[in-house]
Chains A and B, each alone.
Chain A
Amino acid sequence: MRLQAVSTALFTAVVLVGCGAPNGGPIKHDELERGVLSLGNAAGAGQLLTVGVIQDRTKTTFVRVSCRDLADEATHEAEKLQDAEADPDLRAAKAQAVILGSQIAAALGALQVAPKDPLIARDVGRRLDTLEHRATQLAAKL
């Protein structure tokens, strides 16, 4: 009986962590930092995708689907950050992160539409490189 109760409590606690049990209150520094790093990661992964398109060493459907997935990830992160409350000292950083997320999603969207075009891939690659650096710098300030 005791073993069952302990197991149930442990499992429930773990599931709540996994579901991101709301802890209430405004977004914390480390949460915002994680969100920004996640955006930077999407930009970095997108850059790697552009390499294959530029070199014509990839598959069109693969690029399109991957861009869509990464853009969705960036959009989702931006939406989460937009919806989160922030203390005054984090509001500016949060706003920058939301803009970054939208810009990353837009860049990936351009490649999603034209996954075979090396010129567009070069342009997207440059944009994502810049955005990734901005994300890294923003995360470092937090």
Chain B
Amino acid sequence: MRKLFQIALGIIAAIGGYLDIGDLVFNTQAGALYGYQLLWAIPVGLLGIMVFAEMSGRVAAIAKKANFELVAEQYGHRLGLLTLASSLLLTVLTLAAEIGGVGLALTLLFDGPEQTYMLLGAVVLLGVCWFLSFDHIERIFGYGGLTLFVFTAAALHFGPNWDSMAQGFVPESQSTTLYWYFALGLVAAAFMPYEIYFYSSGAREEGWTEKDLGVNRANAIVGYAVGGLLSVSLLVVAAEVFNPVGVDPDQLGTAMLGPQFAFGETGLIIALIGVLFAFGGAAVDTCFSAAYNLAQFQGWPWGKKAKNPTRWDISWVAFLAAGYVIVSTGVDPIELTEYAVVLSVVALPLTYLPILLIAGNGEVMGDHVNGLIAKTLGWAYFVLICVMTVAAPILLFATNGGGG
């Protein structure tokens, strides 16, 4: 009974922690511009993150290795360093966007100087990361993020056209580059590398063993699946509210109007609290992920439960500070998010390959080596992300950074 309760808590935290500013930006803009037409891209990204999250959790539990420990082992020094450098750059850019998002959410709730709220947000995150245990951090932000289900309630409130929605899950042939830019963005937003860095390192932090493979599967599959419902909800709300009037919700405030139209001021406040926790949680994830990567690559002790993880502690504080410095330059967090999401695709192949190789290695994984389904899906997605890696910069150029 206790085990089931633990699994349930983990799933709930995974659901609430699924969404970040990248998901919010791409799902709402996709719904606003294309109605339901891009719904199909959400399960594509979702299945991919489920496959690799489950694999990385399994590798962490059996091989006792987190993602960047595998990178350090599998790649030569130069390739490993390139992978590390690109992952750190993109993770810190994402961190900056999340801190910016926290600042924006606080400003919308309380008014006042945006920069002050970004600084306040960064300081609170510093305190949370320093003083709270890994479990408490996960639970607080995970449970707080559940308030984002106000978007699901809003989507149902608007009474969407179910036929159109069903058709949206079937890809159409489209010739516009902007459509494919958003398709790529939706998949990439679900597939952000920092999610895997954090998931695999978190599994090691919690000391997962063979006994926890059920928990791993539940978190990766059930947790992400229900979390994916939030992405669908964001798109549907945007399709119902913004698409008919031709408005592109390029400001965070505009994106919050859906729950307000459904439930008034209460819906608005719940949505703002939800994004605050979602962005805050994602900021913690990205901050820790960057530090995990550096420490694992360098062979330093890492994690909140390690003995003397001084260099890891200094690293995450430094990355948090770097993220704040970036966003304090006045760069628009929403625009920063779009670039971070699309550019992160370039780092995906080097990130996921070591997991795929080790999870498929019978000598290391024993009975828990990839079965036929995991192997097929894993390699199919690897091909997909290689294609996305080539397509991402082309689409970014061709659409003028998503501006059309």
Contact = CB atoms under 8 A, between A and B. Distances in A.
Interface centre among A44, A45, A58, A61 (most CB of B within 10 A): A45
B79 to A, nearest CB: 7
Contacts of B400: 17, 34
Interface in B138-158: none
Given A52-B257, A57-B265, A65-B107, A18 B251 contact: no
Contacts of B401: 17-18
Interface stretch (A3-11, A83-91, A99-107, A119-127): A3-11
B82 interface: yes
Contacts of A13: 393, 397
Task: Classify the secondary structure of B's interface with A.
Answer: helix
Nearest to A34: B403
Contacts of B257: 48-49, 52
A73 B109 contact: no
Interface stretch (B212-220, B223-231, B240-248): B240-248
Contacts of A1: 78
B264 A48 contact: no
B245 A61 contact: no
B356 interface: no
Nearest to B339: A18
Interface residues of B, number: 39
Nearest to A33: B404
B261 A51 contact: yes
Contact of B108 (A17, A18, A55, A62): A62
A49 B253 CA distance: 9
A14 interface: yes
Given A34-B403, A49-B257, A59 B247 contact: no
A66 interface: yes
A11 to B, nearest CB: 8
Nearest to B266: A57
A65 B111 contact: yes
A34 B400 CA distance: 10
Given A7-B82, A10-B346, A65-B107, A44 B247 contact: yes
Contacts of B107: 65
B86 A58 contact: no
Nearest to B251: A69
A66 B251 contact: yes
B12 interface: no
Interface in B62-83: 78-79, 82
Nearest to A66: B253
Contact of B86 (A7, A45, A61): A7
B318 to A, nearest CB: 22
Nearest to A60: B111
A7 B269 CA distance: 43
A69 B253 contact: yes
Contacts of A7: 82, 86, 346
B268 interface: yes
A45 B264 contact: no
A66 B396 CA distance: 28
A70 interface: yes
B264 A57 contact: yes
A130 interface: no
27 contacts: A1-B78, A3-B79, A4-B82, A13-B393, A14-B393, A34-B400, A37-B404, A41-B248, A41-B250, A44-B247, A45-B250, A47-B245, A48-B247, A52-B260, A52-B268, A57-B260, A57-B264, A58-B260, A58-B264, A58-B268, A61-B110, A62-B108, A62-B268, A65-B253, A69-B253, A73-B250, A73-B251
Chain A to chain B: the 9 pairs with minimum beta-carbon distance, closest first: A66-B253, A57-B264, A61-B111, A44-B247, A45-B254, A14-B393, A18-B339, A69-B251, A65-B108
